[in-house]
Structure 1
Amino acid sequence: MPKILPEDVQQYIRNLIPPRDELLSFMEKTAAEKVVPIVEPEVAQLLYWLALSHKCSRVLEIGTGIGYSTLWLAKAVIPVGGKITTIEINKPRYDTACENFRRAGLVENIELIFGDAREILFDLSGPYDLIFLDAAKGKYLEFLEKCVDILQPGGILAAEDVFMRGMVISGEIDKRRNKTAVSRLKDYLERIIQHPQLETTIIPMGDGIALSLKKQNEINNRSVTGR
């Protein structure tokens, strides 16, 4: 599958990111050596910038992985007294994330939940200032309405890997089992673009990230009444 951005452009952007601390650098190295999926550093910095610029204090992450993106978000959220709730279904990655949060000294600030987001998410009430969706790609559409419901007006829903290694764009599916996920991702993108409660933009960074802003109540009211 073709890269979303030319490699020289991606590398140039990445080189502009300030040096990461020892733990984040270690996680990047470990992920590369063990082929563990984490968000690209430029995507992580975007998440940090979003949380920082919107003064987010309540963040939900669906798909912790080893906690790399969680720690980037924590840099913006924890200094203002905020908290992150994050969900992970994979036990080895959950255990690794626990250890990384312990090493970062943020166990008290990050609520890490082990389990299936298809069950856990629907028991959460929010509201959240930012929701980062980085779970199984075929589940994004299933999670969408609940995410919108528990998102604070003016809050952001960020969905990662929406191009799914370029397959959403090219239509070239590498494995039969990915066909359904690609189809559902296309449906997700169409839905968030047309969603009456969201304003959405799609950024060709990493493997594609969709950013949706939940409209303020007064905007929703004007759209309903036609004023």
Structure 2
Amino acid sequence: LRRAGLRDVVELIQGDATQVVAELAGPFDCVFFDADRFSAPSQLALLLPKLTAEALLFADNVLSHPQEIADYLAAVEALPQFDHLVVPVGKGLSIAYRQKD
């Protein structure tokens, strides 16, 4: 982070991701899911009220672990305010964009 000039911009937090997400205040412009795919739907639910009007959501490995990420993908697809697509790059990247009201 220091070499990239991001040390004063990025905060690294260690802990159980769901518990950490519950405690974060937000708002967030961008969220990248890259951990326990089974917990992603509950983390998404906790993050939704903390997202900005035009937030981006990313999740990786969606093609290489379809059973593990299925509930997250279904949750994102069910959000009417988000456009969602899966890009077949690497092991699969889910991208969701919240449309401004």
Which TM-score bucket, shorter chain as reference?
Answer: 0.7 to 0.9
Which residue identity does 2:32 align to in structure 1? Answer: F
Superposed displacement of residue 103, structure 1: 4.0
Which residue identity does 1:199 align to in structure 2? Answer: D
Contact 1:137 1:162 in 2 (8 A): no
Q: How far apart in 1 are the matches of 2:42 and 2:74?
A: 14
Task: Report the equivalent of 1:112.
Answer: 12
Task: Report the equivalent of 1:54.
Answer: none
Contact 1:147 1:157 in 2 (8 A): no
Contact 1:162 1:210 in 2 (8 A): yes
* Equivalent residues in 2 for 1:155-174, closer than 5 Å: 155-163=55-63, 165=64, 167-168=65-66
Tell me the alpha carbon deviations over residues 25-53 of structure 1, each in whole angstroms, 9 at most, x when there is no partner.
xxxxxxxxxxxxxxxxxxxxxxxxxxxxx
TM, length-normalised to structure 1: 0.41
Higher helix share: 1
Aligned residues: 101
Task: Report the equivalent of 1:124.
Answer: 24
Superposed displacement of residue 188, structure 1: 1.7
Task: List, as ranges, runs of 4+ consecutive aligned residues in structure 1 with deviation greater than 4 Å.
Answer: none
SS of aligned partner of 2:76? helix
Tell me the alpha carbon deviations over residues 148-179 of structure 1, each in whole angstroms, 9 at most, x when there is no partner.
2211111101111112x2x52xxxxxxxxxxx
SS of aligned partner of 2:39? helix
1:202 corresponds to which of 86, 89, 94: 86
Can you give the 5+ residue segments of structure 2 that lack an aligned partner in the other structure?
A: none
Q: Percent identity?
A: 31
* Equivalent residues in 2 for 1:75-86, closer than 5 Å: none
Contact 2:29 2:51 in 1 (8 A): yes
Is 1:189 matched with 2:73?
A: yes
Superposed displacement of residue 123, structure 1: 1.0
Higher RCO structure, 1 or 2 (CA under 8 Å, sep 6+)? 2
Q: How far apart in 1 are the matches of 2:78 and 2:55?
A: 17
TM, length-normalised to structure 2: 0.85
Q: How far apart in 2 are the matches of 1:203 and 1:194?
A: 18
Can you give the 5+ residue segments of structure 1 that lack an aligned partner in the other structure?
A: 1-100, 169-181, 219-227
SS of aligned partner of 1:102? coil
Compare CA radii of gyration and give the structure with the larger one: 1
SS of aligned partner of 1:188? helix
Cα gap change, 1:199 to 1:105, in 2 (>3 Å): closer
1:142 corresponds to which of 42, 46, 57: 42
Q: How far apart in 2 are the matches of 1:205 and 1:128?
A: 25
Higher strand share: 2
Superposed displacement of residue 128, structure 1: 1.2
